[in-house]
Amino acid sequence: MGEILLGTSGWDYPEWVGKVYPPRGAADKLRYYAGLFPIVEVNSTFYRLPPPSVALSWVRRTPARFRFAAKFPQTITHDLRLVGTEEEVRRFLAVVKPIRDAGKFVAALLQLPPSLPFEPETVRRFYASLPRDLPVAVEFRERSWLVPDSYALLREFGLAHAIVDGPHLPVAPEVTGPFAYLRWHGHGSPLWYDYTYSAEEIAAWVPRVRALAEEGTTVYGFFNNHFRGDAAANCRTLAEELGLPSPSRRSKLD
């Protein structure tokens, strides 16, 4: 039975005060969050890379068993579009190095832009440029990526396919790497992540997640529907439905 670790995409949202965090807030939101969930996906690295010292502070403010994933910067995926990325990848690796050194890093998420079609040679060159010991999950956002050649490249380089629940592409439960990586965006309109998953929708994911774990695969899952604290509430519900260990700290999500 593989391990299942569930969390949210990000932790620093003002609207979580009074819902996820205490009514007057938390002096250290990350430290408080780490008492609620065992893992987090750092989304701020997509927009702007912090100094490595900030990543080191994340390591020091979380328990030994806490885990991080982090998004590649948008300069790599959206600006450079996977071409000529060596320096940007180097900068990203320097930021996550303290997390990796601490044994707390599970994956780097490559979230591709919806305007980028699949071009095998460009993709192969980019995948080949990544360190072979860097765990990577790739999130497709354009339909041309959902083809056998694309999945074959992931398998060749040992990269995980990010299984995504969202409005634009079908859920594709392909497992191509050493772990499974799931993201729940929601189905809101016009903002898909402005969405509350119903109890029925959460229940439908229970056998899917359990089936991945029963194959011996480690499962990392993140809710991205952060409005109103829905990501945290939906994550807690799925964890409870799966019978995962209760968090050490309770909040108004109960």
Please tell me which residue, 95 or 215, carries the higher pLDDT value: 95
Judge whether 154 and 161 are in contact, CB under 8 Å.
yes
Element (H, E) at 218: strand 218-223
Question: For the chain, what percent of residues have pLDDT higher than 70?
Answer: 98
**Does residue 248 surpass a pLDDT of 90?**
no
Beta bridge partners of 110: 138
Confidence class for position 247, pLDDT limits 50, 70, 90: confident
**Angle between the N-to-C axes of helices 120-129 and 148-157, in degrees from 0 to 180, rounded to the nearest 10:** 10
Q: What 3-state DSSP class applies to 6?
A: strand
Average pLDDT over residues 124-145: 97
pLDDT tens-digit profile of 35-62? 999 999 999 999 999 999 999 999 999 9
Alpha carbons 120 and 133: distance in angstroms, whole number: 22
Alpha carbons 99 and 1: distance in angstroms, whole number: 26
Please give the model's pTM, rounded to 2 decimal places. Answer: 0.95
The one-letter amino acid code at 5 reads: L
- For the chain, list the domains and their CATH numbers: 4-241 (3.20.20.410)
Q: What 3-state DSSP class applies to 200?
A: helix
pLDDT tens-digit profile of 110-129? 999 999 999 999 999 999 99
Element (H, E) at 179: strand 179-184
Give Cα 126 distance to the centre of its chain. Answer: 20
